[in-house]
Amino acid sequence: MDANVCVVHALDLGVHAKTRIHDFDCRPVRCLVSGCQRDKIRIGTYQKTKKHTYNCLAERIEELAQKCHLKNYWYAMSSLFKIGEKNLDKLFEILEIFPDNYSAEEVAIAAEFFKARGNDVRTFTDPNKPKVPESHDLELLVSSHNLWQGVTHIVSEDAHFVGNAQEIPSWGYKVAIIPMDKLNELEIFWRWT
């Protein structure tokens, strides 16, 4: 799971001022985690991704709070952030933390693939998004490729991964991208509902 998906898992923040604060994708992500646990399927993230997840949490909580038009905004933010951190801590107790396994050279090669052959993902998100993913996403891709002999799956909502899901294996990476917005369909297929 990438950092954004881990954050979404943590975004069921309870009721504040009679408003339920949650991300609508939280339930399918939680279903994925519990289904993998139940079926004894290895699910995890990487040490560096775990650190990045905590960095992303405040921004996502702030976005949710603004969408909900919370009163006592700053007071609520403090409370919501504590709940979100606690939810992330619980998630990381469940997930396997895989070792980061990449070299600077491998990350540079992955960046070149995106630069030379990657799809233009600006149409999926904002028009200023660069064609090459951020370094932590490239490190996730390379670490996933190096994890074991078989194919590793990355659940992601990142436009670089989702927009190049078909291309990434053709570049020689043993990685399959599962778009986060497809989890509802997959949970029915995998009977995790």
Q: What is the pLDDT, as a whole number, of residue 71?
A: 73
The pLDDT > 70 percentage for the chain reads: 94
Contact 122, 128 (CB under 8 A): yes
Instruction: Identify which has the larger pLDDT, 81 or 192.
Output: 81
Residue 9 has pLDDT above 90, yes or no: yes
Q: pLDDT tens across 81-135, in order?
A: 999 999 999 999 999 999 999 999 999 999 999 999 887 776 655 677 788 999 9
Pair type for strands 19-22 and 12-16 = antiparallel
Domains in the chain: boundaries? 3-98, 104-181
Rounded Cα distance, 1 and 83, in Å: 21
Q: Report the amino acid identity of residue 156.
A: S
**Shortest CA distance to 146 belongs to which of 4, 3, 6, 46?**
46
Contact 60, 83 (CB under 8 A): no
Average pLDDT estimate for 157-183: 93
Q: What is the dihedral of CA 120, 169, 154, 163, to 10 degrees?
A: 20
Pair type for strands 152-156 and 175-179 = parallel
Q: What is the pLDDT, as a whole number, of residue 193?
A: 55
Residue 149 has pLDDT above 90, yes or no: no
- Which H or E element spans position 16? strand 12-16
Please report how the helices 26-38 and 3-10 are oriented relative to each other, as an axis angle in degrees rounded to 10: 100
Residue 19 has pLDDT above 90, yes or no: no
Retrieve residue 64's tokens: 């949710």
Contacts of 117 (CB under 8 A, 6+ apart): 167, 171
Rounded Cα distance, 20 and 3, in Å: 23
Please report how the helices 47-67 and 73-94 are oriented relative to each other, as an axis angle in degrees rounded to 10: 150
Q: pLDDT tens across 24-54, in order?
A: 899 999 999 998 999 898 999 999 999 999 9
Q: What is the pLDDT, as a whole number, of residue 121?
A: 75
**Shortest CA distance to 45 belongs to which of 80, 81, 10?**
10
